[in-house]
Amino acid sequence: MTIRSLGVRRAALLASSVAMVGLLAGCGSGDDTANAPRTESGTTSPSDGTSSAPSGVPTDAVSNSLTPSAPQSPAGGTRCHTSELSASVGRNNPGAGQENFPVVLTNESSRTCTLYGYPGTAFVDASGKQLGPDPKRSSAEPETVKLAPGQSAWAGLSFANPEVSGAGTATPAALVVTPPDEEDPLKVAWKSGEVPVSGNESSVRLIPFSPGTGA
């Protein structure tokens, strides 16, 4: 009962955020793929593979300068740095034509640190080229998540099932994840198949970090 309840909670959170984003964001951003991933994190990690430092991904392809409107972390001095974290992608929890994945960051350091806001994310091919448009953020209010050594936080990543939406697809080699307020990314092997990369239903949506793994 506990596992099912958590799964239902996660799906409800993701469905709610997707609905809000749909009202605010409108249509997707066209069918051009970017030449390099831009994993903008908001001030602001288990399925397949954990990574603590990417290889073969150009630095300029994963830098994540904050946008002027990004919220500012109330705990900047204690924030978790990329070198202290590992990233993973949790099990899909599909529903209502949506694919829903938790992007999990785990504190691998010996100190307590914090996460606030959204991760920077980008699907990339084997050469490091970004696939699909930049993700869209929900309007959910971020919270500061305190991570003791070994603890995790998850951010929801969702997109419409391409078989339902009819969007153009590609199969990524990895998901690049940049922690909030950081410039150095983490890279997680993507083993969950095709993702939408073109057409009006190609948007990937994010909700901010919450405590736990989202399982």
pLDDT band at residue 77 under the 50/70/90 scheme: low
Residue 130 has what pLDDT? 95
Distances (CA, A) of 148 to 13, 52, 79, 90, 116: 24, 18, 12, 20, 15
Residues above pLDDT 70, as percent of the chain? 64
Q: How many Å apart are CA 69 and CA 64, to the nearest integer?
A: 14
Question: 189 pairs with which residues across the strands?
Answer: 174
- Kindly state the average pLDDT of the residues 164-192: 94
By residue count, the chain amounts to: 215
- Kindly state the average pLDDT of the residues 67-81: 58
Residue 159: in which H helix or E strand, if any? strand 152-160
pLDDT band at residue 73 under the 50/70/90 scheme: very low
Mean pLDDT for all residues in the chain: 75
Look at residues 126, 135, 184 and name the one whose alpha carbon lies nearest to residue 156: 135
Look at residues 187, 82, 178, 202 and name the one whose alpha carbon lies nearest to residue 125: 187
Phi then psi for residue 22, to 5 deg, are -60, -40
